[in-house]
Amino acid sequence: MSVTILQKLLSSCLILFLLSCNNPEVRLKRLQREFREEFARQEYFEVRLKNEVIHLPLPPIAPPSEQKKQLALGFQEAANSIDKEQLNDVQQKQLVQIRAALDDFVAQDGNSFFDPARCSMEAPLKRFSDHPELSVLIDSIPAYYAEVWKRWQTPEVRFVSNAVDESQVALDLLHTAGSKCGHSTISQARASVKDFIGLCQSARLGK
C-alpha cells in the first residue's frame, strides 16, 4: 500500500472518529484535540484566554498538501455538524473559534499567493472589542507579528491595499481601546501594526 493511500485512509478514519459520537461536548473535545495537533501548532498563532483560544493565521511555511486540504474539509464538516445550541456558553465560543480558523484555512485552498490581509488585526479586534480579556489579545499583538515577520512571504501587489486598509482600521481600534488597556500595551501593539503596514507596502516598492 502506497504512503499516499495510507495517509488518505488515516485521514478518513480520523474524520469518521470525529463524527461518530452523538454527544456534542465529547465531539467538541475530540475536535479541539485533533485540530490542535493537525493545524493549530503549524498554521496559527494561539492567543489563550481564560475559556477560549483565538487562532490568528500565520503565513504558510509551504503550500498545504492534498492530505491537509482534505483533512481541513473533514474537520470543517465535523465542526459544522456539532449542534451549537447543545453546548454551554464557553463551549459555544470555543466552537466558533475553531470554525472560524477552519473556514479561513479552507478559503485559502487553491490560492497559491500569500494574502497579508489574513494577518490584519481588524477582525479580531472588532470581534473582541467588548470582551473582558481584550487586553490579553492586544498584549499578544507584538509577539504575533514577530512570528508573521519570521514567516513573511512577499505578497502579490494586488493584495497589499486591502491589508493596509484593514490594518489602518486596526490602528483606530487600538486607539479606541486605549481606555481599557495600559498606555504601554497599546503603544507596543500600534507600533507592531505600523511595522506590518510597512512590510506590506514594501511589496509595492519591490515592483
Q: Using one digit for the tens of pLDDT, what is the confidence trace for 30-41?
A: 888 888 777 656
Q: What is the mean pLDDT of residues 126-140?
A: 94
Q: Which of 22-31, 91-100, 132-141 has the highest mean pLDDT?
A: 132-141
Among 39-53, 139-153, 165-179, the least confident range = 39-53
Whole-number pLDDT of residue 203: 78
On whether both 119 and 78 belong to a single domain, the answer is no
Whole-number pLDDT of residue 32: 84
pTM assigned to the model: 0.70
Report which of residues 27 and 134 the model is more confident about: 134
Please check the confidence at residue 177 and state whether its pLDDT lies above 50.
yes
Residues of the domain holding 169: 113-207
Please check the confidence at residue 2 and state whether its pLDDT lies above 60.
no
On whether both 6 and 103 belong to a single domain, the answer is yes
On whether both 108 and 172 belong to a single domain, the answer is no
Query: Please, where are the H alpha helices in the chain?
Result: 3-19, 24-35, 41-43, 66-81, 89-107, 122-127, 134-150, 157-176, 183-205
Among 26-40, 47-61, 89-103, 116-130, the least confident range = 26-40
On whether both 102 and 125 belong to a single domain, the answer is no
Confidence of residue 98 (pLDDT cuts 50, 70, 90): confident
Confidence of residue 204 (pLDDT cuts 50, 70, 90): confident
The single-letter DSSP state of residue 63 is P
Whole-number pLDDT of residue 10: 42
In one letter, which amino acid is 142? Answer: P
Residue with cell 502579490: 156
Single residue among 112, 131, 163 that ends a domain in this structure: 112
Bridge partners, 48 (sequence order): 53
On whether both 104 and 131 belong to a single domain, the answer is no
On whether both 83 and 183 belong to a single domain, the answer is no
Please check the confidence at residue 132 and state whether its pLDDT lies above 60.
yes
Q: What is the dihedral of CA 167, 125, 75, 60, to 10 degrees?
A: 30
Burial class (CB in 10 A: 0-12, 13-18, 19+), 169: middle
Mean model confidence pLDDT for the chain: 82
Single residue among 97, 112, 127 that ends a domain in this structure: 112
Write the CB contacts of 32 (distance below 8 Å, at least 6 apart in sequence): 94, 98
On whether both 43 and 137 belong to a single domain, the answer is no
On whether both 117 and 135 belong to a single domain, the answer is yes
On whether both 75 and 121 belong to a single domain, the answer is no
Please check the confidence at residue 181 and state whether its pLDDT lies above 50.
yes
On whether both 169 and 199 belong to a single domain, the answer is yes
Please check the confidence at residue 142 and state whether its pLDDT lies above 50.
yes
On whether both 182 and 101 belong to a single domain, the answer is no
